Amino acid sequence: MSRRGKKKSQSHMDESWLLPYADLLTLLVALFIVLFAMSDINIQKYEQLASVFRSEFSNAGSGVLDHQEIPVPPPEQEEVDENEDSEEQDEQLSKSESELRDLQALQTQINHFIQEHELTEQLGTELTDEGLMITLVNEVFFDSGSAEVKETSKEIANDVSNLLYTEPPHQVVISGHADDVPIETEEYNSNWELSVSRAINFMTLILENEELDPTLFSAKGYGEFQPIVPNTSAENRAKNRRVEVLILPNYDIQVPE
């Protein structure tokens, strides 16, 4: 055999592997495209990428990408999810706004009661994101060192209980607070115990109103540890000795500043 014939034979053998190798690469590219299509991607970017692949391989001979549409996941489901989320947010916002209006109306009603009965020195209200707070001065309802509600104040407590009836009902937290003057009696060893007893006794009196649901009420005592003003004077200490009635909102609210 001549050298020329031998070279032709070797050249032909060297080129024979190119076709299956090209097909293998084409299959691998197709596999990655399918995997890519199954992932959560930006549809517009995916279509651009698929178009580039079709353009690059359309001139490479017959293969799995020729004359074949690349599957594109439908965007409808994502749009539906976004619409549902938007509707839920709008519904929640509507409920929050309605709850805020209800508490504002209740605050107006309570303030009218306070002014009508000339109780501005004994009662006060404040509406915050936590709910509607009714503050009662201790001296009106309790004697010094005592947790028993005064007989002269039980009528006011009864009126307050009527104001706490709402439709729909709300959870109510009653908390007792004291000043920083230490107390130690046969009945109470600390301001903490005294404040808890006052909150419980006032709540018990409130719940004599049978229209109220006892399961929605709870009592707390904070002692001297949550003052509203510094305990630097007799006047400030009197403000810190208080019982608070917090009407919780049924939905999250945001009170305008």
CATH number of 87-247: 3.30.1330.60
pLDDT of residue 154: 93
Adjacency order of strands within the sheet including 172-177:
123-128, 131-137, 242-247, 172-177, 217-221
- CB within 8 A of 70, min separation 6: which ones? 33, 37, 50, 53, 54
What tens digit of pLDDT does each residue of 81-107 get?
666 667 777 788 889 999 999 999 999
Task: Please identify every stretch of the chain with a pLDDT value under 50, giving residue numbers as ranges.
Answer: 1, 62-67
**Total-model pTM:** 0.67
Q: What percent of the chain has pLDDT over 70?
A: 73
pLDDT of residue 99: 96
pLDDT of residue 45: 63
What tens digit of pLDDT does each residue of 187-210 get?
999 999 999 999 999 999 999 999
pLDDT of residue 89: 75
- CB within 8 A of 254, min separation 6: which ones? 96, 100, 129
For the chain, give me the number of helices (H) and strands (E)? 8, 5
Contact by Cβ (8 Å): 174, 202: yes
Average pLDDT along the chain: 83
Contact by Cβ (8 Å): 141, 194: no
Domain ranges of the chain: 3-57, 87-247
- Calculate the dihedral angle through the C-alpha atoms of 230, 126, 216, 209, rounding to the nearest 10 degrees: 100
pLDDT of residue 66: 47
pLDDT of residue 14: 64
Contact by Cβ (8 Å): 166, 103: no
pLDDT of residue 55: 65
pLDDT of residue 43: 62
pLDDT of residue 87: 72
